[in-house]
Structure 1
Amino acid sequence: MKKLLLSAAVAATLFGASTAHAADYVIDTQGAHAFVNFKIKHLGYSWLHGRFNTFDGGFNYDSANPNASQIMVNIETKSIDSNHAERDKHLRGKDFLNVDKFPQASFKSTSIVFDAKGDEAKVTGDFTLHGVTKSITFEIDKIGEGKDPWGGYRVGFEGETSLKLADFGIDYNLGPASTHVDIGLFIEGIRK
């Protein structure tokens, strides 16, 4: 009986040690330390840049076991901002995002695989846009982590992926150079 109790205590200690650093983080959108950006080629001659101004989410991260991490992001599609009011009105309409019918886009990870150093990863998950859900993968970099000046703890990442618009039911003809949009995710999380 003593051996069984001792084994259980050792297992609990080891398990506790392996998860001691796991924490939940809220994405810092209130302090404007997170961004969901996009860019798409304009006629193949230049880039059109924009962002989504309203989004939220969180993630779970453990630097000792980063592959167990998870992330969830919700985006308010009507918050699209390309720095041009008339263009934004068109982007919110039926030709593109159709925000009245599809007010939310979201990403939820299904797999995160970091390199041996824990600095770079491939984050795969389900992305829902325009009523269509597809599995996509972000290449991400860890920017850093540590205490902030206000007694909190933060960690930051950036990532990028490219999406084919037609895969999400957006088939408005922008020309052959503009079939894909690049999405950039820049997040700073505050530990809860």
Structure 2
Amino acid sequence: MKKLTLALAAALSLGTAQAADYVIDSKGAHASINFKIQHLGYSWLTGRFNDFKGTFSYDDNAPTAAKIMVTIDTDSIDSNHAERDKHLKSDDFLNTDDYPEAKFVSTKVVDKGDGTMDVMGDFTLHGVTKPITIEAKKIGEGKDPWGGYRAGFMGTTTIALKDYGIDYDLGPASQTVELELHVEGVEQ
């Protein structure tokens, strides 16, 4: 239930020799926040949030001191179907007029070794804040062709809609949403 696919939390496990601050490269489309939920128990409905921003700080020598913050524009939900997106933005689900942002702020990182970690934090959605854990993995890091330095992570988590006050009944198989995060940060 607490497996929010926030690859963003995976960004916490960046491996650099010294503490560094990163900006998530969402403008260059090198990061994504994806979701999937069962549709009536018959198939998977997938989508993404197109607009989000965030930062993270990471020191490979002290991964448990990592910090991450991500803000998601809930109105940017994209399930590849305009009418469905309109419904997802309505009061039945995200209520984007009243809750235009979702946010994740890390509170603790547990280093599990081999570039994997659990990133704990507070996730705010639909006006409700709950603790979640993102299972994260470092993908890689290094210099880019433009003279910068980048680090990438991925992460997953699952949230229960009712925990965030979303109680639209789509059937028993559709009570949780899996989140998957893919994050590439540019060192500042």
Q: TM-score w.r.t. structure 2 length?
A: 0.90
Equivalent in the alignment of 2:153: 157
Q: Is 2:46 the counterpart of 1:49?
A: yes
Matching of residue 107 in structure 1 with residue 92 in structure 2: no
Mapped to 2, the partners of 1:43 and 1:168 lie a distance apart of 20
More helix by share: 1
Alignment of 1:135-174 (within 5 A): 135-174=131-170
Which one has the largest radius of gyration? 1
1:123 aligns to 2:86 (yes or no) = no
Answer yes or no: is the 8 Å Cα contact 2:17–2:60 preserved in 1. no
Write the deviation string for residues 58-78 of structure 1: whole angstroms up to 9, x where unpaired: 000111111110100000000
- For the residue of structure 2 that corresponds to 1:124, the secondary structure is strand
Corresponding residue of 1:94:
91
Counterpart code for 1:144: G
Q: Which runs of 4 or more aligned residues in structure 1 lie more than 6 Å from their structure 2 counterparts after TM superposition?
A: none
TM superposition shift of 1:20 = 6.4
Structure 1 residue runs of 5 or longer lacking an equivalent are: 1-18
Equivalent residues, number: 173
Task: State yes or no: 1:35 paired with 2:36.
Answer: no
Q: Which structure's relative contact order is higher, taking Cα pairs within 8 Å and 6+ residues apart?
A: 2
Identity %: 64
Q: What RMSD in Å do the two structures reach over aligned CA positions? A: 1.1
Task: For structure 2, list consecutive stretches of 5 or more residues without a partner in the other structure.
Answer: 1-15
Question: What is the CA distance between 1:116 and its match in structure 2?
Answer: 3.0
Matching of residue 189 in structure 1 with residue 185 in structure 2: yes
